[in-house]
Amino acid sequence: NAGVTQTPKFQVLKTGQSMTLQCAQDMNHEYMSWYRQDPGMGLRLIHYSVGAGITDQGEVPNGYNVSRSTTEDFPLRLLSAAPSQTSVYFCASSYSPGGSTGELFFGEGSRLTVL
């Protein structure tokens, strides 16, 4: 099983550019989420979704958009990249309707650098 697949693994952007980080899971999980990981900060929740058509904000949502048109995919969009968005991004999914009450399955991460 592929599990949670993130693309691209590495990306360099210039300030003001836009891009989409892709996330796909093949486990039929209803819950999907995006975290960012910064040195000394742990992981912080950006956005999450409890099912197709439903999204909500986490701790650090500013500068990011998400949509959930299918159960399998949960893309994260940066509309106008800023250097403060340089980070490693992780997509995670779970079978649990509540998301955080069950095991989260993580992708391998996408390292984004904004110049």
Partner 1 sequence: AQSVTQPDIHITVSEGASLELRCNYSYGATPYLFWYVQSPGQGLQLLLKYFSGDTLVQGIKGFEAEFKRSQSSFNLRKPSVHWSDAAEYFCAVATDYSGGGADGLTFGKGTHLIIQP
Give residues in contact with partner 1 (CB under 8 A): 4, 33, 35, 40-45, 48, 50, 56-59, 90, 92, 98-101, 103-104, 106-109
Rg (CA), the chain: 13
Give 18 or 57: the residue with its C-beta nearer to partner 1: 57
- Tell me the closest approach of the beta carbon of residue 24 to partner 1, in angstroms: 14
CB of 39 to partner 1, least distance (A): 9
Within 10 Å of residue 85's Cβ, how many Cβ atoms? 19
Return the number of the residue (48 or 64) whose C-beta is nearest partner 1. Answer: 48
62 has which bridge partners? none
Q: Which residue has the tokens 């891009």?
A: 19
DSSP-derived secondary structure letter, 85: G
